[in-house]
Structure 1
Amino acid sequence: MAHDTHLLTLAGTSLLVLLTLALWFAYVLGVRAQRRRRKTWHCWRTVSFSLGCGLLVAAFSPFMVEWGHADLRGHMAQHLLLGMFAPIAMMLGSPGTLLLRSVPAVTARRITEFAGSVPVRCLSHPVTALMLNVGALYILYLTPLYQLSFSEPVLHVWLHLHFVLAGYLFSWSIAGPDPAPHRPGMWLRLIVLFVAIAAHAVLGKLMYAYGFPRDAGHDLAEIEAAAQLMYYGGDLAELLLAVVFFATWYRRRKLAGSSSDGGQQTADPG
């Protein structure tokens, strides 16, 4: 039974690898279409998105799946790739902007209207994204859900997919380069980011001090090592997100200043 469960989990993660590759291929086709139309698309965006997809493929690889099943440290490394580093890299590729540029104007308008609807705005709010991302970690490691996920392949694969989507949503809500007219202001996003850093740190300390997840077949030394990996790896990822946040804010402020100066220069001669 355990062998069959493991095989089903491998099959599910293999499907996620195929979906990741299909997403990357669609992105590359979109970039090629932009270049054929002689529209600018920075190379670093393509590199960043490709890096994110590569990290997902690595996290879904049989080696990582095997390591994640056998060792909590492998599971934690997998989580860091899926829920933090890969989403940040993919977010920096601006896939939303590429999508809007690649579809007809009518379709782009409908996508924009849908993105601006109240349910989507609530879902993409930084506080909601924080709960879906970090809050789900508390539920996973402090309840029996962690043990259950290894006996239920569908749940296990779904949790992987959830952390990718929640990680991307959180990264985008904080520092996404794609247009977002209804995105909250800088200070709220910065506060939410600091709360996420603190929440991650607290969870790592709870795992280290109290041996979570309990009754999952992991010895204390293994749990402590995994908790340290979450603590320091999470800090590194969130520091990277903070750098992206301030860089994006500075760039937009600089562009706004340039636009104002240009408008002033244009108005002066008149």
Structure 2
Amino acid sequence: MQNHHLPVIAEWALAFPFLVALIVYTGALLISAKKGRKWPEFRTLLWFTGIFLCLISVAGPMAQLAHTDFRIHMIGHLFLGMLGPLLLALGAPVKLLLRSLPVQQAKNLTRFLRSRVIGLLSNPAVTATLNIGGLWILYTTDLFRMMHESTLLHVMIHVHIFLAGYLFTISLIYVEPIPHRTSYLYRSFILVLALAAHGILSKRIYAKPPEGVPANEAEAGGMLMYYGGDAVDLMIIIILCYHWYRSTSPKKMVKRRDLPSPG
């Protein structure tokens, strides 16, 4: 990888949305508490941890190193596109927002969630294509090299990595009140295909590095992508299976708790 420094403007452009999300979530927490509606502390912890992982991936020392070292880049990819989105999804921001908004605004948000656009973007086949397909394009074409030569392209690709990872996560595990739901079998099938495609891509990176990436860095990066991706995917599998189990359990055995609602 060429030794270019990541422009500060790119760091701020990528960090700003996460800072705004942090402020909005905190505000919603305060409003919810003022209304006497207690919010689970574990969700708050997961949300703040997810924001932290995403922030260090796009701004600061780690982001600068990732611009010149493929191994650090891959750690950032795992944080920004996989682990961070999973933790943020488990933080249930939409559910918290619905609790804190006035009735009319909450109805407007609910109406938007029921729209065809959200229905399309919550379909696992679509989100898997955006997520895994985008990674294949990034690492098997000149796009990865171009990303390090264009600030705008760098920002756009990192925004895509996060959004695609987040949409993919929430399309598989239903923590939020998502109207457009698909079956467990369908989601499991898409997840298996996505796991296979992600694993094959990591092996390809190991064997055939992206342009400009030294072989030793590509080998380490490919292994990080393979094993790190498996670890995050295992968390998703466990949550999905837990929801599936709950949905088939007798109602009398299911205790009402503030846990992710099964789809």
User: Using a 3 Å threshold, how does the CA distance of structure 1 residues 261 and 198 change in structure 2: closer, same or farther?
Assistant: closer
Describe the shift of the 1:22–1:198 C-alpha distance in structure 2 as closer, same or farther (beyond 3 A): same
Q: How many residues are paired up?
A: 255
Q: Provide, for residues 190-236 of structure 1, a one-character-per-residue CA deviation record: whole Å limited to 9, x for no partner.
A: 11111111111000111122x1313x2x2212111111111111111
Matched-pair contact (CA < 8 Å) for 2:81–2:165:
yes
Q: How far did 1:65 drift?
A: 1.8
Superimposed CA distance per residue, residues 140-191 of structure 1 (whole angstroms, 9 cap, x where no aligned partner): 0001000011111011011111111111111000003111122101111111
Q: Which residue of 1 aligns with 2:210?
A: 213
Q: Which residue of structure 2 aligns with residue 141 of structure 1?
A: 139
Q: TM-score, normalised by structure 2?
A: 0.90
State the TM-score, normalized to the length of structure 1.
Answer: 0.88
Partner of 1:38: 36
2:86 to 84, 88, 92: 88
Structure 2 CA distance for partners of 1:167 and 1:148, relative to 1, 3 Å: same
In 2, Cα distance between equivalents of 1:87 and 1:260: 28
Aligned partner (choices 14, 17, 23) of residue 16 of structure 1: 14
Instruction: Say if 2:249 is the partner of 1:249.
Output: no
Change (3 A) 1:207 1:114: same
Residue 218 (structure 2) aligned to one of 192, 210, 223: 223
Q: Which residue matches 2:260?
A: none
CA distance in 2, matches of 1:95, 1:74: 29
Offset of residue 257 of structure 1 = 1.2
**Structure 2 CA distance for partners of 1:71 and 1:113, relative to 1, 3 Å:** same
Q: Secondary structure at the residue paired with 2:37?
A: coil
Residues 1:191 and 2:189 aligned together: yes
Instruction: Check conservation: 2:209, 2:215, Cα contact below 8 A.
Output: no
1:52 aligns with 2:46: no
Bigger CA radius of gyration: 1
Counterpart position of 2:74? 76
Provide the C-alpha distance between the structure 2 equivalents of 1:79 and 1:135, rounded to a whole number of angstroms: 15
Kindly indicate whether residue 111 of structure 2 is the aligned counterpart of residue 113 of structure 1: yes
Quick check: 1:101 aligned with 2:99? yes
Structure 2 unpaired stretches of 5+? 257-263
RMSD, aligned CA: 2.2
| CA shift digits 1:68-91 (9 cap, x unpaired) | 111111111110000000000000
> Contact conserved, 2:122 with 2:180, CA < 8 A, in 1?
no
User: How much does 1:252 deviate?
Assistant: 5.1
More helix by share: 1
Where in structure 1 are there 5+ consecutive unaligned residues?
263-270
Q: Percent identity?
A: 35
Per-residue displacement from partner, 1:68-117 (whole Å, max 9, x unpaired)? 11111111111000000000000000001111122122222222222212
Q: Distance in 2 between matches of 1:40 and 1:249?
A: 27
Going from structure 1 to structure 2, the CA distance change for 1:86 and 1:261 (only over 3 Å counts) comes to: closer
In structure 2, relative to structure 1, the CA distance for the partners of 1:134 and 1:260 (3 Å cut) is closer
What's the counterpart of residue 234 of structure 2?
239
Moved more, 54-63 or 164-173: 54-63
Checking the alignment, whether the CA contact within 8 Å between 2:56 and 2:63 is kept in structure 1 is no
Amino acid at match of 2:223: Q
Q: Distance in 1 between matches of 2:26 and 2:140?
A: 40
Quick check: 1:6–1:153 contact (8 Å CA) kept in 2? no
Is 1:156 matched up with 2:150? no
2:67 aligned counterpart, secondary structure: helix
Say if 1:252 and 1:106 are closer, same or farther in 2 by CA, change over 3 A: farther
Distance change in 2, residues 1:259/1:6 (3 Å): same
Q: Distance in 1 between matches of 2:156 and 2:90?
A: 24
Q: Which amino acid aligns with 1:227?
A: G
CA distance in structure 2 between the aligned counterparts of 1:131 and 1:81, rounded to whole angstroms = 20
